[in-house]
Structure 1
Amino acid sequence: MRICLFPGTFDPITLGHTDVIGRGLDLFDRIVIGIGTNSSKTPMFTLEERTAWIREVYKNDPRVEVSAYQGLTIDFCKKIDARFILRGIRYVSDFEYEKAIADVNRTIAPEIETIFLTCIPQYSSIASTLVRDIYKYGGDVKPFLPEAVLEGIKKHKL
């Protein structure tokens, strides 16, 4: 079975993320969306909210799971028997950053391959950081988020 980890903070999951996941499903038997803890980031939305939104988005697709993890992504891959890591690329700068991580991961665990997929053009400018800023200042985030997240943030208090 081709198991793939799609790691990130998903604060929140955006249409750019779901685009990459949807196309990744053509390549893998199962995708685990891994919500990682990043010590340099303070999320706006709780882990429980982010997990619930992702589960709602993929409630009808048993090939997609969500799980939180701490520590090295490569260690989590080993724990879930993932032989692949999926990363979305928007710009050349994303590739340079992600390639450096992929090279380190390959040194640590050469049996785990990183796969890069570019976003479709209409989603290439979507970043969770930008979406959070738009939301924080009362802007319209509808063009950037799945319906489950839009419903969920209506209940969220800033």
Structure 2
Amino acid sequence: MKKAVFPGSFDPVTNGHIDIIRRAATVFDTLVVGVFNNVRKQSFLPVEDRVVALQEALTDVKNVQVVSFDGLLTDYMVQNDIKVIVRGLRSVTDYEYEQGQAQIIHQLNPTIDTFFLLTKPECSFVSSSVVREIHHFGGDISTLVPKSVLKAIECFSNK
């Protein structure tokens, strides 16, 4: 059974993330979407809300599991017998960053490979940080994120 993990902070999840997840799910028997809290950034949505938003957006994709985790990705992968990381690429800049990450992970555990998927052109300009900025200034993000994310943002904003 081919298992892969698509890790990210998904803060918030975008339609680009959903596209990569759906496409990767056709390649692997099981795709684990691993949501983590990026310790280098202040979070926009709590991890639990991001997990729920992803689960709701992917209810029709039966071979996807959405989990949260802390610690090193390589440790999580060893504990769960996962050998492949899925990463989405929007640009050359993404590739350069992800290439370095893949090399570090390979150094930590040479049995782990990285599988790159290019985003569709209509999603190539969308990032979580762009979504956060547009939302911060009151702009419409409804075409950039799944409905479950809009719901999570609304619920979190009303707390």
Letter in 1 for 2:149: V
* Cα distance between partner residues in 1 of 2:78 and 2:3: 11
Superposed CA RMSD in Å reads: 1.2
Deviation at 1:154, TM superposition (A): 2.5
Instruction: Number of aligned residue pairs: give it.
Output: 158
Percent identity over the alignment is 35
* Structure 2 equivalent of residue 94 of structure 1: 94
Off by >4 Å, runs of 4+ in structure 1: none
Whether 1:80 aligns to 2:90 is: no
Q: TM-score, normalised by structure 2?
A: 0.94
In 1, Cα distance between the equivalents of 2:107 and 2:44? 33
**Range with greater deviation from structure 2 (57-66 or 91-100):** 57-66
* Alpha-carbon distance in structure 2 between the residues aligned to 1:78 and 1:23: 24
Structure 1 equivalent of residue 70 of structure 2: 70
Which runs of 5 or more residues in structure 1 are unaligned?
A: none
- Assess if the C-alpha contact under 8 Å between 1:37 and 1:71 holds in 2: no
- Residue aligned with 1:155, SS: helix
* Alignment partners' CA distance in 1, 2:26 and 2:155: 34
Deviation at 1:68, TM superposition (A): 1.1
Give the superposition deviation at 1:81. 1.3
1:150 aligns with 2:150: yes
CA distance in 2, matches of 1:114, 1:52: 26
TM-score normalized by the length of structure 1:
0.95
What does the per-residue CA deviation read over 1:94-122, in whole Å, with 9 as the maximum and x for residues that have no partner?
A: 10110011011112211111001110000
**Match of 1:9?**
9
Counterpart of 1:140? 140
Structure 2: gaps spanning 5 or more residues: none
Give 1:6's aligned amino acid.
Answer: F
Are the counterparts in 2 of residues 57 and 148 from structure 1 also a CA contact under 8 Å?
yes
Which letter maps to 2:34?
G
Indicate yes or no: 2:22 matched with 1:19.
no
Local SS of the residue matching 2:157: coil
